[in-house]
Amino acid sequence: MLYILGCAFVSAIAMAVIYEPGTDPSRVYYGTDTRASAILIGAALAVVWPSWRLSDNVSSSSRTMLDMTGVLGIVMLFILIAQTNEYDDSLYRGGFLYLSLITAVVIAVLVHPANRLERLLGCRPLSWIGKRSYSLYIWHYPIIILSSPVVNTDDASYMRMALQVTASFIMAGLSYKYIEEPIRRGTFWTGLQSLRRSGAGSQLGLVVIVIAIILVLASWKTDSPTPDPVPDAPAAVSRDPVQTEQLQCSCSDENHPAENTSHSAEGAEITAIGDSVILDAAPFLEKQPPGMIIDGKVGRQMSQAGDVLDGLREQGKLGHKIIIELGTNGVFNQSQLKSLLASLQDSQQIYLITTRVPRGWQNTVNDNLREIAGEFQNVQLIDWYSASENRDDLFYGDGVHLKPEGAQYYASLLIDAIKQDKTY
């Protein structure tokens, strides 16, 4: 048992060592070596706490202590779920181990024959869900993907969520009844033949059609009111906007150059750094205000911003005002952003821009930007996320890169914020 626990802790340590804050956590999240701790802790529990050896002949005080431990564990699990997300650094530096240990305690309580929590957690609705939990796990993701619009600048649709949950439960129930259980009993193929003979297959097909209709309804987007016209491009700008194609998984773009793209003029007062989104808006930004330096690179992360700014400083191209447009390609933690802004305290004004990207890190990025921006006197937040709400017309099909009118609108938002600044 100690050997199993030792391997579990080694796995947790490997996760903490391999994880790099501000980068894609997929390696540690999906790696067998870094996620084995949860399985191993469960294995250790099975060794030291076999339910068939436990007795319900315990004192009243022991029974109460057992129940209180279970309740406390469940409360702690809910707190962890509510206060963390997949981009929280603490999750990869002991958080998963902590979660596994608490879960093991709750399971230990529930399998003990003397516990009273089983009556509550073993009620029929929860029991039904528990038996079909694997089916729910399998079905919910493709249903959500198939029924969610790629470009969605609206607020969360609770109707769509309700339809997605309904479809997930229906499919989970069907697959449990007609696939999982027959396979367990070894009657899957004979069951298929019985369905054909009884005509129940047509009824099952009807249910599948209903599911398809639900998915169509869930993905249906109601017509938005006609948006306000996009402001005219500044007269000094005459170049065609940067063209973009479909966003790749790293938020890169084949039509954007892979190397840094820098639009510059000597003696510039304003420097803008960013990723492919700032490149989209570059044709509209580079001459308004005159001499703005724009340094954009496809796939750039916030973790690279410090080196980029240091390089511009050495070249004498770092203006007194700095625009930072990053977060499209991945999450960053608050300490990274604080450190970056602290290194720019001598700058007259810094502009942080919220992001809009159909990825899980969008809200975390924007929350970090909003919170940290308020802690620095020389930092102003430009809320692109709010400004682009309900404006699907501004984006290409990837939901990130900007059409010409979107790039123009984006640039006008930045220019207006700069001109309204008292330091301008």
Ranges 36-40, 103-107, 232-236: which has the least confidence: 232-236
Check if the beta carbon of residue 399 is closer than 8 Å to that of residue 358: yes
Residue 409 has pLDDT above 60, yes or no: yes
- In angstroms, rounded to a whole number, what is the distance separating the alpha carbons of residues 191 and 154? 45
- In angstroms, rounded to a whole number, what is the distance separating the alpha carbons of residues 78 and 366? 24
Query: Tell me, what's the pLDDT at 1?
Result: 82
Query: Tell me, what's the pLDDT at 251?
Result: 37
Concatenated DSSP letters for 79-125? HHHHH--TT-HHIIIIIHHHHHHHHHHHHHHHHSTT-SHHHHHTSHH
Distances from the Cα of 308 to the Cαs of 304, 313, 418, in angstroms?
6, 9, 22
Concatenated DSSP letters for 384-397? HHHHTTT-GGGB-T
| CB contact set of 72 (below 8 Å; sequence gap of 6+) | none
Pick 238 or 34 by higher pLDDT.
34
Q: 382 pairs with which residues across the strands? A: 353
Backbone angles phi, psi at 105, to 5 degrees: -65, -45
Three-state SS across 39-92? Answer: HHHHHHHHHHCCHHHCCCCCCHHHHHHHHHHHHHHHHHHHHHHHHCCCCCHHHH
Run of H or E including 5: helix 2-18
Check if the beta carbon of residue 109 is closer than 8 Å to that of residue 67: yes
How many C-beta atoms surround the C-beta of residue 112 within 10 A? 22
> Comparing C-alpha atoms, which of 251, 307, 316 is closest to residue 279?
251
Residue 42 has pLDDT above 60, yes or no: yes
- In angstroms, rounded to a whole number, what is the distance separating the alpha carbons of residues 71 and 64? 11
Residues with active-site annotation:
276, 398, 401
pLDDT band at 26 (very low <50, low <70, confident <90, very high): confident
- What are the residue ranges of helices labelled H in 148-264? 158-175, 181-185, 188-198, 200-219
How many C-beta atoms surround the C-beta of residue 244 within 10 A? 26
pLDDT band at 241 (very low <50, low <70, confident <90, very high): very low
Average pLDDT over residues 348-369: 92
Q: 295 pairs with which residues across the strands? A: 262, 273
Average pLDDT over residues 289-305: 88
Residue for token pair 């509550």: 120
Average pLDDT over residues 303-324: 93
Ranges 172-186, 215-229, 231-245, 318-332: which has the least confidence: 231-245
- When the pLDDT of each residue in the chain is averaged and rounded to a whole number, the result is 82
- In angstroms, rounded to a whole number, what is the distance separating the alpha carbons of residues 266 and 278? 20
Ranges 46-50, 222-226, 299-303, 370-374: which has the least confidence: 222-226
Check if the beta carbon of residue 106 is closer than 8 Å to that of residue 77: yes
Residue 107 has pLDDT above 70, yes or no: yes
Three-state SS across 244-281? Answer: CCCCCCCCCCCCCCCCCEEECCCCCCEEEEECHHHHHH
- In angstroms, rounded to a whole number, what is the distance separating the alpha carbons of residues 147 and 157? 12
| CB contact set of 98 (below 8 Å; sequence gap of 6+) | 80
Return the biggest CA–CA distance within the chain: 86
Run of H or E including 414: helix 404-420
How many C-beta atoms surround the C-beta of residue 333 within 10 A? 18
Radius of gyration of the chain (CA): 27
Q: Is 41 exposed, middle or buried (0-12, 13-18, 19+ CB in 10 A)?
A: buried
Query: Tell me, what's the pLDDT at 175?
Result: 87
